[in-house]
């Protein structure tokens, strides 16, 4: 149900952008932007040490590119693509995350932007196989690494806040997996530095 709702929202936004492009004032030309930052996956959900500490920040390098266009008066349409660069998960697993994103933005003041939208997350994992013995509390257990290439797709509900500094911007972008199911809900976030320029 949630995926259908997101697809309908994106289709509606696409038609609005198409019909509104002829009405964009000269002062509101579309702008391209490039972003770089750090992505933290599943905030406070993954154990990172033997004492039970949870991951709250992970500086996984992330790059992206997007487009800012005006739609429906003061509202903005902000599609973008982000790539969390390949990184290791454990000893023998490499993870690769690609995001296709679309936000609606609104600037209540000249220096601040609110963003709400959705993402299609493509996670690819490749393992080189093998097994490793790890402590499981009172003893040790054998855990097996995947030996194949696997991909998964998820949609997320996204909320962001952006501090506008001339042509540059600082952004906190959050991604909520399974927002309507509390037992499966997960939150990830990215801290971005972006640069905007006119087309």
35-50: burial string, b at 16+ Cβ within 10 Å, e else: bebbbbbebeeeeeee
Is the model's pTM score more than 0.85?
no
Distance of CA 40 to the CA centre of its chain: 10
9, two tokens: 């929202």
pLDDT recorded at residue 66: 97
Query: Which residues span the domain enclosing 159?
Result: 2-198
pLDDT of residue 33: 97
- pLDDT value at residue 11: 56
Q: DSSP label at 19?
A: H
When divided into structural domains, the chain yields a total of: 1
CATH of the domain at 157: 2.40.160.20
Q: Are 140 and 131 a contacting pair, CB within 8 Å?
A: no
Q: Does residue 155 contact residue 118 with C-beta atoms inside 8 Å?
A: yes
- The burial of 186, by beta-carbon neighbours within 10 Å (0-12 exposed, 13-18 middle, 19 or more buried), is given as middle
pLDDT in the model for residue 65 = 98
| Residues in CB range of 37: below 8 A, 6 or more apart | 61, 62, 64, 171, 190, 191, 192, 193
From first to last of its 199 residues, the chain has per-residue pLDDT tens of 445 545 544 554 455 444 444 444 444 689 999 999 999 987 765 555 555 566 666 788 999 999 999 988 889 999 999 999 988 766 667 889 999 999 999 999 999 999 999 999 999 887 766 676 766 667 777 766 666 778 889 999 999 999 999 999 999 999 999 888 888 888 999 999 999 998 6
The per-residue pLDDT for 17 is: 44
Q: What is the pLDDT of residue 192?
A: 97
């Amino acid at each position: 149900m949630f995926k259908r709702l997101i697809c309908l929202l994106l289709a509606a936004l696409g038609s609005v952008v198409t019909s509104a492009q002829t009405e964009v004032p000269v002062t509101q030309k579309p702008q391209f932007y490039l972003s770089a930052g750090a992505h933290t996956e599943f905030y406070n959900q993954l154990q990172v040490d033997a004492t039970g500490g949870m991951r709250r920040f992970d500086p996984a390098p992330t790059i992206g590119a997007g487009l800012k266009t005006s739609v429906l008066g003061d509202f903005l349409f902000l599609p973008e693509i982000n790539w969390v660069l390949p990184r290791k998960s454990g000893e023998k697993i490499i993870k690769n995350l690609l995001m296709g994103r679309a936000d609606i933005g609104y600037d209540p003041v000249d220096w601040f932007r609110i963003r709400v939208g959705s993402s299609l997350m493509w996670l690819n994992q490749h393992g080189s196989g093998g097994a490793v013995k790890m402590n499981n509390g009172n003893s040790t257990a054998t855990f097996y690494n995947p030996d194949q290439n696997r991909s998964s797709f998820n949609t997320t509900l996204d909320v962001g806040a952006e501090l506008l500094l001339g042509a540059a911007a600082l952004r906190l972008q959050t991604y909520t997996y399974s927002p309507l199911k509390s037992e499966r809900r997960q939150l990830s976030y990215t801290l971005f530095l972006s640069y905007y320029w006119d087309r």
